[in-house]
Amino acid sequence: MAKSQLNILKIDSSGRHDGSASRQLTQRLADRLAAENSNAQIVSRDVSFGLPVVTEDWIGANFTPQDLRNDAQKNVLHQSDELVSELHAADVLVIGLPIYNFGVPAALKTWIDLICRAGETFSYSDAGPEGLLTGKRAIVVVASGGVPVGSPADFATGYLTQVLGFVGITDVIYVSATGLAMDPEAPLRSAEAEIDMLDLGLAA
């Protein structure tokens, strides 16, 4: 993955801005990546402010061949096109994943719906769907009040791993701050230490 410039896409999804554990951890990770790669460029995408949901018009535009789309269809896909472009440009994804009610936040699910597009981030073949975003790494920081990563109650990380693999991103690392509802400090400190010790292996 070495190259003249390391493109980092930082995605935050927590509805909390002040005091958000996942935001604190994504920023720490992005800062470390930037510090260790002199030519790093960070693009920040905060999906918590709201993205357009998939509608009938969106579906119709998405399945219309690109060269046949009218202006209205291009407009309805504009946000999705921007998100897909960010993914294609990124070498590393830093994703903040707070666990809400055992799953991913609605804001992150909306982002997923907008970037999973045939011909853009995956394609169909005789062998089935094939991801088009290969050669990238995702580092996911998980913040949870009390759902341990990998436990039967964790419906978030397995789902995100499936989605990332579906679009071709199979190099996925999880850093977890679990148990914040019981102790808001110790899990955060543990996750920070884990971030500081990660073998990133991404020097440009």
Residue 97 near residue 15, CB atoms below 8 Å:
no
User: What is the separation, in whole angstroms, between the first and last Cα of the chain?
Assistant: 8
Residue 4 pLDDT more than 90?
no
Question: How far is residue 41's CA from residue 34's CA, in Å, rounded to a whole number?
Answer: 7
pLDDT at 49: 92
CATH superfamily entry for domain 6-197? Flavodoxin domain (3.40.50.360)
Mean pLDDT of 47-73: 95
Question: How far is residue 51's CA from residue 79's CA, in Å, rounded to a whole number?
Answer: 8
pLDDT at 200: 84
Residue 95 near residue 9, CB atoms below 8 Å:
no
Residue 1 pLDDT more than 50?
no
Question: How far is residue 180's CA from residue 119's CA, in Å, rounded to a whole number?
Answer: 40
Per residue in 163-193, pLDDT (tens digit) is 999 999 999 999 999 999 999 999 999 999 9
| Closest CA relative to residue 144, chosen from 9, 6, 5, 25 | 25
Domain locations in the chain?
6-197
